[in-house]
Chains A and B, each alone.
Chain A
Amino acid sequence: MKQKQHGFWDDVKKYRTLLLMLTPAVLFFLVFAYVPMAGIVLAFKQYNYTDGIIHSPWNGLDNFRFFFGSGDAWRVTRNTALYNIAFIVVNNVLQIFAGILLFEVAGKWFRKITQTILFLPYFISWVVVGAIAYNLFNFDVGTVNVLLKGLGMQPVDIYNTAAYWPVILVVVSAWKALGYGTIMYLAAITSIDTEMYEAAEIDGANIFQRIMKITVPNLIPTVIILVLLAIGNIFRGDFGMFYNMVGNNGLLFSSTDVIDTFVFRSLTTSNEIGMSAAAGFYQSLLGFATIMLANYAVRKYDKDRALF
């Protein structure tokens, strides 16, 4: 046996190939994730292009004061959080429901075809979803208004009415995520030990009891992981979705503006570098705090179920 003391450099030498193999990934995340983290200083600066990030003057908390004083902060935070909570609840309930039904129905072909159709929306880009929405909701030629007119009712100006959008966006989110989540839950159901079902059947449990007493409880670990991951993103709006569905339609901002669209707009159209950096930093902090809290809560309840 070797008694020699192993120093840091001995380890480096020992793992040199492995370390070399990690180098591209480390560099990638350094450049595209850690360097931007350092860019958070922008939130505390009065950025101008001639001085650049490093030499622009500090302005303390002015950017934050501006952001919170504008009245937009509360609106975008509320919208982002409420939409995500609605997405998490509606999508997971629907997906679990569809997963269970898909597992229980008998026909193999029926199952395959349904699965394929449910998965369809997942594969298309948000731009295409935007085009589909236009097809449905356009005032003059949209299908919804065609139907309303056909029923002898007044057409509705969906693209200019804020009140419709929470419902539309929740439905669109459910539509796009349904297939993916359903398969995820179906996979989890398939891995449940069949002996449990057989035992329950012998004890005289009916199929609904089996679902409620075996399938659903066994799905809880999967639900926790998926929800925990989603909670970490509760203050992150799905930019692709909101931007392609709503665009820069100011009439709808009261119900559709989320932190991400707000930051994008302040950056690209009004060029408010400092303020959008402040808003982005605020978003990251909220997200970080939420995931820590959620993880802590799950850890308290069951240590093995936590993310970390």
Chain B
Amino acid sequence: MSTTTAKIQTAKVRKRVNTDRLTLSIIGYATLIVLAVFCIVPFLLVVSASLSEESSIIEKGFQLIPSTFSTEAYGLLFKYPAEMLRAYGVTITVTLIGTVLGLFLTSMTAYVLSRRDFKWRGRFSFFFFFTTLFSGGLVPSYLLIINFLHLKDTLLVLILPMLMNVFYIIVMKSFMSSIPDAITESAKIDGAGDFRIFLQLIVPLSKPALATIGLFIALAYWNDWYNALLYISKSELMPLQYYLYKMLGNMDGMRKAMMASGAVVNTDLPTESLKMAMTIVATGPILLAYPFIQKYFVQGLTIGAVKG
């Protein structure tokens, strides 16, 4: 084949490749934009409703662009913030303690299971893994926590049941297995104990995995409302999401809460816009933090996927 025909051939292929690329790009951008709109519009609707005047919501319903702008709902929330702040306090406390403790225990467990020289690692792994295959169900756990552990209406009940999760242990273990054994070996020769090796060598080397799992745990605690639904009846122990849940379903409760914090009894509270403003305030910190968090998340998931 002469060089000219070869060149023409290549040019043809390239041209075809370019049109294919173009088609794919059009499909790709269009689809992704549609999906992104689909993901973000519901949030915008809530933001818009929280900034609307109650009367216009009643008259025209929730709209994407508020027809009348008003910050009344937020004003009310921040005027008597006692209940809301207490709920924030509970959530922040639970999230902090739960994440630190949970992360420490998860990584320590994962480290032991990642040690190839540990004779019983298979047996212990199975002991943990089995709990994902079979469980006693809601009723036995419920009775255990209420009748035997007596954890009803305590902060502990919001922390303990979610402290550890087999999936996190597995992800962490697979990350730690990729750390060369030679590091542990040489530290041993230098006379370091197992716990010291874990704390001073393995923990600093596992930062990406710790960040990812830590974020998973923190997110679970921040968004938890289920344990509160089951085990919390005292209003001063309500975490943020459960408080929101209560208020969404019960505006009378909202009125009472406002009265308790010293508000003048207002029979016509802006119910609809207030619900939406509360939703925004309860979501706020997550929405603000998550674009920054997300990059670690992606990194961590990459690890998970490569190992998986």
| Residues on A facing B (Cβ under 8 Å) | 11, 15, 17-18, 20-22, 24-26, 28-29, 31-40, 42, 52-53, 97-98, 101-102, 104-106, 110, 113-121, 123-128, 130-132, 134-136, 138, 140-143, 145-146, 149, 175, 178-180, 183-184, 187-188, 190-191, 201, 204, 206-208, 222, 225, 232, 239-240, 244, 247, 260, 263-264, 267-268, 273, 276-277, 279-281, 283-284, 287-288, 291, 308
Contacts and interface: CB of A to CB of B under 8 A. Distances in A.
Interface of B is mostly: helix
Contact of A135 (B31, B49, B301): B49
A28 B163 contact: yes
Interface string B228-262: 00100000000001101100110000000000000
A142 B129 CA distance: 44
Contacts of B120: 11, 15
Contacts, number: 280
Contacts of A178: 35, 39
26 contacts: A15-B118, A24-B105, A24-B109, A29-B127, A29-B164, A32-B141, A39-B136, A39-B144, A102-B28, A105-B28, A120-B43, A131-B46, A131-B276, A132-B42, A135-B49, A140-B58, A143-B63, A146-B63, A175-B42, A183-B301, A191-B302, A206-B16, A240-B225, A267-B142, A283-B137, A284-B137
B124 A26 contact: yes
A201 to B, nearest CB: 7
Contacts of B230: 268
B21 A207 contact: yes
Given A34-B131, A191-B306, A131 B275 contact: yes
A10 B127 CA distance: 22
Contact of A21 (B33, B112, B287): B112
Contacts of B308: 222, 225
Given A125-B225, A222-B305, A26 B127 contact: yes
Interface of A is mostly: helix
B49 A22 contact: no
A232 B31 CA distance: 31
Interface in B69-118: 105, 108-109, 111-112, 115, 118
Contacts of A273: 139, 143
A232 B36 contact: no
Given A32-B160, A101-B32, A125-B225, A188 B138 contact: no
Contacts of A239: 226
B29 A105 contact: yes
B189 interface: no
Interface string B292-308: 00100110011011101
A163 B75 CA distance: 40
A269 B102 CA distance: 33
Nearest to B59: A141
Contacts of A279: 137
A161 to B, nearest CB: 18
A201 B241 CA distance: 52
Greatest chain A CB density within 10 A among B28, B33, B112, B290 is at B28
A25 B305 contact: no
Given A15-B118, A21-B108, A277 B139 contact: yes
A175 B17 contact: no
A239 B230 CA distance: 12
B144 A33 contact: no
Contacts of A134: 248, 275
Interface of B: 13, 16-17, 20-21, 24-25, 27-29, 31-33, 35-36, 38-40, 42-43, 45-46, 49, 57-58, 60-64, 105, 108-109, 111-112, 115, 118-120, 124, 127-129, 131-144, 147, 149, 160-161, 163-164, 169, 193-195, 198, 219, 222-226, 230, 241-242, 244-245, 248-249, 272, 275-276, 279, 282-283, 286-287, 290-291, 294, 297-298, 301-302, 304-306, 308
A187 B198 contact: no
A135 B39 contact: no
Contacts of B139: 39, 42, 263, 267, 273, 276-277, 280
Contacts of A123: 219, 286-287, 290
A26 B112 CA distance: 12
Contacts of A117: 36, 39-40
Contacts of A277: 137, 139-140
Given A125-B222, A135-B62, 18 more contacts: A24-B105, A25-B128, A26-B124, A28-B163, A31-B149, A110-B29, A120-B43, A121-B39, A127-B242, A128-B244, A128-B282, A142-B62, A146-B63, A183-B297, A190-B302, A201-B17, A207-B24, A280-B140
B35 A206 contact: no
Contacts of A140: 58, 61
Contacts of A201: 17
B54 to A, nearest CB: 10
A291 B111 CA distance: 27
Nearest to B137: A280
B31 A40 contact: no
